């Protein structure tokens, strides 16, 4: 079936550096993509989203890039902080009205002090 995957299971970065977390998706019909952050023992938290009619969207310290040609999604975190340490998931959904999200397997971000 269609699935969303990640290239790197663990990413270690120095505090203050920028982080880039990547995600590949296989369903070309997906039109909505989201990044979630999950801290240990908690539920996933929404970070940022993007629709397929855009290729870039910026939030506070985060940017999501969408390359539909190669079905690739990335999350960029500027000036990474210790509080950014968590597991990050990308998710996708299609055009139906049920808002069902399909999640990737996650990337763990470790921030070194």
Judged by CB under 8 A, which of 13, 24, 78, 102 binds another protein?
Answer: 102
**98 touches another protein (CB under 8 A):** yes
**66 touches another protein (CB under 8 A):** no
Task: Collapse the DSSP code of 26 into the 3-class scheme (helix H, G, I; strand E, B; otherwise coil) and give the result.
Answer: coil
Judged by CB under 8 A, which of 10, 14, 18, 45 binds another protein?
Answer: 45
The pairing of beta strand 45-51 with beta strand 32-38: antiparallel
Alpha-carbon gap, residue 55 to 112, rounded angstroms: 30
Alpha-carbon gap, residue 108 to 9, rounded angstroms: 6
Judged by CB under 8 A, which of 28, 67, 105, 112 binds another protein?
Answer: 105
With respect to another protein, which residue has the nearer C-beta, 36 or 84? 36
Name the minimum Å distance from CB 54 to another protein. Answer: 12
Name the minimum Å distance from CB 65 to another protein. Answer: 18
With respect to another protein, which residue has the nearer C-beta, 5 or 16? 5
Q: Residue 39 gets which letter from DSSP? A: -
Q: Which two tokens stand for residue 10?
A: 């663990």
**52 touches another protein (CB under 8 A):** no
């Amino acid at each position: 079936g269609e699935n969303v995957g990640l290239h790197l299971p663990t990413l270690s970065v120095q505090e203050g550096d920028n982080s880039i977390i990547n995600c590949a998706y296989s369903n070309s019909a997906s039109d909505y993509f989201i990044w979630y952050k999950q801290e240990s023992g908690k539920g996933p938290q929404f970070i940022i989203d993007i629709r397929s009619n855009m290729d870039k969207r910026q939030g506070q310290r985060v940017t999501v890039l969408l390359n539909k040609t190669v079905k690739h999604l990335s999350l960029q975190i500027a000036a990474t902080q210790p509080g950014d340490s968590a597991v990050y998931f990308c998710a996708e959904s299609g055009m139906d009205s049920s808002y069902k999200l399909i999640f990737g397997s996650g990337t763990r971000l470790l921030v070194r002090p």
